[in-house]
Amino acid sequence: MFLARVEKKITSTKKHNAYNGRIVFIVQPILPDGTSNGNEWVAIDYVGAGIGDIVVCGGAPGVSKSVFNLKFAPIRTLIMAVVDKINYHDI
């Protein structure tokens, strides 16, 4: 799993059936101090995140299938939590 900032929302009409009714966001992976790190990911919202939120993203093959109770779900990245606060220190 990784920390990310929700940046943009994607709207679409032509999609795989598993994506019907789901909110799709572009998330930017970040370091604990909030600086961007690496390339953007596309993630499906599972907890009710909004643009600008710091979130925890992740997923593994087959997870979205059981989470959404679908027969086939070509979904890799899920937004799993909205972060309230991060406590961290350098080693």
Partner 1 sequence: MKLGVVIGVVWATKKVKEINGCRMYIVQPISSKGEKKEIPLVVADPQNIAASGDKVIYVTSSDATEAFDSGFAPVNASIVELVDEIS
CA distance 44 to 84: 20
Is 76 a residue that touches partner 1 (CB under 8 A)?
yes
Which of residues 72, 89, 90, 91 is near partner 1 by CB under 8 A? 72
Quick one: DSSP state of residue 17?
G
Least separation in angstroms between residue 78's CB and partner 1 is 10
Binders of partner 1 among 11-40, rule CB under 8 A? 11-16, 18-19, 24, 26, 39-40
Query: Any idea what DSSP says for residue 57?
Result: E
Strand partners, 56: 3, 81
43 interacts with partner 1 by CB under 8 A? yes
Work out how close the CB of 79 gets to partner 1 at its nearest, in angstroms, rounded to a whole number: 12
Burial (CB count <10 Å: 0-12, 13-18, 19+), residue 75: buried
Q: Are 41 and 78 in contact (CB under 8 A)?
A: no
**Residue ranges in contact with partner 1 by CB under 8 A:** 7-16, 18-19, 24, 26, 39-44, 61-62, 64-65, 71-77
